[in-house]
Amino acid sequence: MPPIPLVQGALQIRVVYPSPNQLIQSRDSNFIFGSVGNGHAVLTIDGSPVQVYPNGSFIAFLPLPAREHPAYDLMATLGSDTARATQPIRLLPPIPVLASDGPLVVDSGSVAPFGHLALGDDEILRVAVRAPVNASVVWQGDSATVPLVNGSAMPLRSALDTPLSPGAITPRTAADTTLWQVGVPARRMRTQSSIVVARGADTVTLSVPAVAPAPPVPTWGILGADTSSVSDTDRVIIGRPVPNGTYEWLLMPGTAVPVTGLDDDFVRVRLDGSLEMWVHSSDIALMSNGWQPPARVAGNAELRPAAGWVDLEIPMSSKPPFLIEEGDHELELTLYGVTGNTDIVTYAGDDSLVRGVRWEPVGTERVKYTLQLATQPYGYLALWDNGRFILRVRRPPHIDPARPLAGLVIAVDPGHPPIGATGPTGLYEPVPTLAVGEKLRDLLKARGATVVMTRTTAAPVALGERPIMARRADAQALVSIHLNALPDGIDPFTSHGTGTYYFHPQSEPLARSLETSLVRRLGLPELGVHYDNLALARPTWMPAVLCEGAFIMMPEQEAALRTPEFQDAYARGIADGLETYFRSFAPHR
């Protein structure tokens, strides 16, 4: 790590984080960082001494200020000079104390369900609230009263486990004796109902919204509001297992799906008779009642080899929902809402990549195709072309072990802008990431690669455009360069270092290679390799990895990131990791 240069400027307190009146997401302690303009200054925050680094930067992890008019009080001294600053912040509302005695207190922010819901009659909703363990809690509605059960005794998961409302306190695990819940069929909640909490003479009544009926069947929607058959390789519609949940399905615009429910900004759609998912309401156009696409039947399939890939083509009437999963030397393609009727699979030529295709019906509306590969999966795409679903399987590159990057196309993504983190002395993340990206570009070119940069200036580039650039350039790998920061409440002195992120299994070996090389070059603590749902890690046509080489919020690391030496070390760590990874594809001698 390069030494931090000494700065002997005017005494001036500048707080970078938190910003004035920012809502702090932790409840007891948090970090504060910025600069005081002079490395010889002495600093206290709320009376606690805080280290000042040679360049005048500081970072501290301190208890949050008192709740009434919360603000950090900073005082810096330099000889006879003194500077003071007050940084006001906002705090989360206090967690209700659900005591077993005294006035009855109930956590009204924990009531479930909430929002605008539309569900089928027999679907079970989780009716829940946090209330004292010695209270009596019932749901009243539908001319009936149903007691809620203490959560420690009945960890209930409903068919629709609704996310918490904004500002609600996150329910604890089943050991939380203040959590009360019960399952109620949606048909009994068509009108507004109540949760009633009582203890002794005290009673608290909380409103539960009515649940509308599910859309009449059949009601269909078109994902992406696109009813054409035009292929859009680079646009996908995100399907989630729960509203606002993690990404699971990445589907084509123009796919028709039955609509079965609503939860505020999310619409539930049916993939087949046994599986449903949620899409954002902006990603689906509802069709008029009675509209229905032709039944999807998967016909005879054909494998078509090309120079850089092999296509599995399956004819059917319209775009299906699908899922592609990677396995050991295989890819599994699941088609939903499709009847399997593949009598013949034609192999065009003796191809070396796809060694065989198996198919099997999984129920009457689901079919699975398994492609047996000669290698581990390297890249793939799902396409639609003129009545054919196409799974395109990419061939791994041919590698010269002496020059493993020669002839490859590598996409380099200098992270941000827009947005991005800022260090204690004001270093904005997109500045050093571009510097590292440019050094990496030069290193990769010197090692024989062609480099595609997603940005070369300080101008913003949309997040969604960056992986599209890599795919259209037919890159063999995509590496996104970032600098890390922490969420509120995490001690920065114990939680910093180098981490690498991937999403699809095919990218995990590249992530491991880059993490090992970056830790060796940068000399920071190893945070490891992480599976994470990140936009720059979601492409499937090539291994795609996001690197968080250092923490820009840490004074020593921010100072190092200003130096060409550390920028070069970051770039060389990536270049070395790419070489190691691609060398593994070279034939053994």
Q: Helix/strand/coil (H, E, C) string of 81-92?
A: EEEEEEEEEEEC
Beta bridge partners of 351: none
Pairing of strands 117-119, 256-263: antiparallel
Q: What is the pLDDT of residue 142?
A: 83
Question: Is residue 288 very low, low, confident or very high in pLDDT (cuts 50, 70, 90)?
Answer: confident
Query: Cα–Cα–Cα angle for 120, 153, 138, nearest 5°?
Result: 55
What is d(CA 305, CA 392) in angstroms, rounded to the nearest whole number? Answer: 9
Q: In whole angstroms, give the CA distance from residue 509 to residue 278.
A: 31
According to DSSP, the residues that pair with 340 across neighbouring strands are 298
Q: Are residues 448 and 573 in the same domain?
A: yes
CATH of the domain at 486: 3.40.630.40
What phi and psi values does residue 164 have, to the nearest 5 degrees?
-70, 150
Q: Determine contact, residues 376/505, Cβ cutoff 8 Å.
A: no
Structure confidence at residue 184 (pLDDT)? 95
What CATH number is associated with residue 238? 2.30.30
Number of domains in the chain: 5
Whether residue 97 lies inside any domain: the answer is no
pLDDT confidence bin for 585, thresholds 50/70/90:
very high
pLDDT tens-digit readout, 50-72: 999 999 999 999 999 998 999 99
pLDDT: which is higher, 584 or 142: 584
- The tokens of 330 are what? 């295989």
Grade residue 175 by pLDDT with cuts at 50, 70 and 90.
low
453 with 354, same domain: the answer is no
Q: Is residue 138 part of a domain?
A: yes
Least confident range from 22-36, 110-124, 422-436, 489-503: namely 110-124
**Among the ranges given (116-125, 222-231, 481-490, 548-557), the one the predictor scored with the smallest mean pLDDT:** 222-231
Helix (H, G, I), strand (E, B) or coil at 333: strand
Relative to beta strand 237-239, strand 249-251 is antiparallel
Query: Is 204's pLDDT higher than 60?
Result: yes
User: Is residue 332 domain-resident?
Assistant: yes
Token couple for 297 = 């039947």
Residue 545 has pLDDT above 90, yes or no: yes
Q: Is the pLDDT of residue 160 over 70?
A: no
Please tell me whether residues 488 and 519 are part of one structural domain.
yes
Residues of the domain holding 46: 14-91
Interior angle at CA 551, CA 490 and CA 6, nearest 5: 115
| 174 confidence band (pLDDT: 50, 70, 90) | very low
**Rounded mean pLDDT of the chain?**
92
Residue 455 and residue 315 share a domain: no
pLDDT at 27 over 50: yes
181 and 131 housed in the same domain: yes
Which helix (H) or strand (E) is 558 found in, with range? helix 555-561
Q: Which domain CATH number covers 84?
A: 2.60.40.10
> How far apart are alpha carbons 177 and 152 in whole angstroms?
5
Mean local confidence (pLDDT), 137-165:
67
**Rounded mean pLDDT, 136-160:** 74
Spatial contact of 448 and 402, defined as CB atoms under 8 Å apart: no
Residue 404 domain-assigned (yes or no):
no
Mean pLDDT, residues 193-219: 91
Q: What is the 3-state secondary structure (H, E, C) of 423-486?
A: CCCCCECHHHHHHHHHHHHHHHHHCCCEEEECCCCCCCCCCCHHHHHHHHCCCCEEEEEEEECC
Q: Looking at the structure, tell me whether residues 169 and 241 fall in a common domain.
A: no
Residue 8 lies inside a defined structural domain of this protein: no
CATH number for the domain spanning 377: value is 2.60.40.3500
Residue where one domain finishes, among candidates 286, 312, 338: 286
Q: Does residue 2 belong to any structural domain of this protein?
A: no
Residues 302 and 338 in one domain: yes
Residue 289: predicted pLDDT: 81
Domain end (from 212, 240, 271) = 212
* 379 and 470 in a common domain: no
Q: Which of 207, 200, 204, 205 is nearest to 105 (CA)?
A: 204
Please say which residue of 252, 286, 320 terminates a domain.
Answer: 286
Q: Which pLDDT score, from 0 to 100, does residue 92 have?
A: 95
CA angle 464, 527, 18 (to 5 degrees): 65
What are the tens digits of pLDDT across the range 485-515?
999 999 999 999 999 999 999 999 999 999 9
209 vs 351, residue with greater confidence: 209
Per-residue pLDDT tens digits for 215-246: 776 689 999 965 444 445 688 999 999 999 99
- Of 32-41, 244-253, 481-490, 514-523, the one with minimum mean pLDDT is 244-253
Q: Which of 251, 398, 393 is nearest to 327 (CA)?
A: 393
3-state secondary structure of 340: strand
pLDDT surpassing 80 at residue 521: yes
Q: What is the per-residue pLDDT across 426-483, written as a single tens digit (0 to 9) for each? A: 999 999 999 999 999 999 999 999 999 999 999 999 999 999 999 999 999 999 999 9
Examine the pLDDT at 152 and tell me if it is beyond 70.
no
DSSP string, 353-377: SEEEEEEEE-STTEEEEEEEESS--
Angle subtended at Cα 163 by Cα 159 and Cα 168, rounded to the nearest 5 degrees: 140
Task: Indicate whether 59 and 29 sit together in one domain.
Answer: yes
Cα angle: 264, vertex 179, 90; to 5 degrees:
65
DSSP run (H or E) holding 384: strand 380-384
Whether residue 96 is contained in a domain is answered as: no
Centroid of chain to Cα 307: 34
pLDDT at res. 589: 59
Residue 314 and residue 251 share a domain: no
The enclosing domain of 204 has a CATH number of: 2.60.40
Would you say residue 5 lies in a domain? no
446/535 same-domain check: yes
Residues 208 and 240 in one domain: no
pLDDT at residue number 228 = 47
